């Protein structure tokens, strides 16, 4: 099995797969919405999973029925990000989601190539705070791509940096846009969440404790 896994590339989404930062995104977006005079719900926050910062702001402003200029939007996105960064700066290794650390360790031992494929522009800080950075052979995040999931750019770039064929990649995703991006890139997908919310994934898990190296290997072979 070890020989097989060496030819497999695993590409991990960050927020919602390795760590739970959705709670911090929620608090910061809610603070921004409240500042602008309207509320922001948990259900709305769910819709922002995997969506990049500026697109998230556009959706929130439309929910609040507010229009802003490009310059004002830039300022609002920066304000939200400053609050968000203050929160994630205090993250600890305790905030790594169940099963993530063990799976990364097992994949490393088995010789798999490992990349990050995230929409976040704050991935470096999150990986540093949670002490996960050393697992990754390549990091592709919101700073490195020009298009957002469901476009496959983030995952195709990760595969290229790993020197892997896209058909030998397994993507781990918690957002529908991310699952769609992986499918568009002709990659296998492990959906982290409910099957009804992540149609098209090859397998679904509650968290990464529910899948192991042999099962990942079987997705490709």
Neighbours of 175 (CB within 10 A): 26
From candidates 5, 9, 11, 16, binder to ligand B16 by CB under 6 A: 16
Neighbours of 179 (CB within 10 A): 28
As given in the structure block, the two tokens for residue 84 are 């968000």
Q: What are phi and psi of 17, to 5 degrees?
A: -115, -55
Q: For residues 73-102, which are near ligand B16 according to CB under 6 A?
A: 81
- As a whole number of angstroms, the distance between CA 103 and CA 95 comes to 15
Residue 119 interacting with ligand B16 (CB under 6 A): yes
Decide if 158 contacts 172 (C-beta within 8 A).
no
Determine whether 151 is an active site residue: no
CB closer to ligand B16, 59 vs 219: 59
Residue 185 interacting with ligand B16 (CB under 6 A): no
Task: Name the segment binding ligand B16 (CB under 6 A); options: 49-57, 59-67, 184-192, 201-209.
Answer: 49-57
Residue 174 interacting with Mg ion (CB under 5 A): yes
CB closer to ligand B16, 51 vs 107: 51
Residue 51 interacting with ligand B16 (CB under 6 A): yes
User: How wide is the angle at C-alpha 198 spanned by C-alphas 193 and 202, nearest 5°?
Assistant: 90
Give catalytic residues, as residue numbers.
13, 15
- Contact residues: Mg ion, CB under 5 A: 13, 15-16, 50, 174-175
């Amino acid at each position: 099995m070890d020989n097989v896994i060496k030819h497999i590339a695993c590409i991990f989404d960050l927020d919602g797969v390795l760590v739970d930062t959705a709670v911090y995104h929620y608090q910061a977006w809610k603070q921004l919405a409240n500042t602008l005079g309207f509320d922001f719900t948990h259900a709305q926050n769910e819709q922002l999973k995997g969506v990049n910062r500026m697109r998230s702001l556009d959706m929130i402003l439309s929910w609040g029925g507010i229009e802003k200029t490009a310059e004002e939007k830039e300022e609002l996105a920066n304000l939200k990000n400053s609050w968000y960064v203050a929160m994630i700066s205090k993250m600890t290794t305790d905030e790594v989601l169940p099963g993530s650390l063990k799976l990364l360790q097992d994949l490393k031992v088995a010789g798999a190539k490992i990349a990050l494929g995230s929409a976040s522009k704050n991935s470096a800080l999150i990986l540093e705070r949670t002490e996960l950075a050393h697992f990754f052979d390549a990091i592709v995040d919101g700073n490195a791509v020009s298009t957002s999931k469901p476009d496959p750019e983030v995952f195709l770039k990760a595969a290229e940096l790993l020197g892997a064929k896209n058909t030998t990649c397994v993507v781990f995703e918690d957002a529908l846009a991310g699952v769609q991006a992986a499918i568009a890139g002709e990659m296998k997908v492990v959906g982290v969440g409910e099957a009804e919310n992540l149609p098209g994934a090859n397998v679904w898990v509650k968290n990464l404790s529910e899948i192991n190296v042999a099962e990942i290997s079987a997705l490709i072979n």
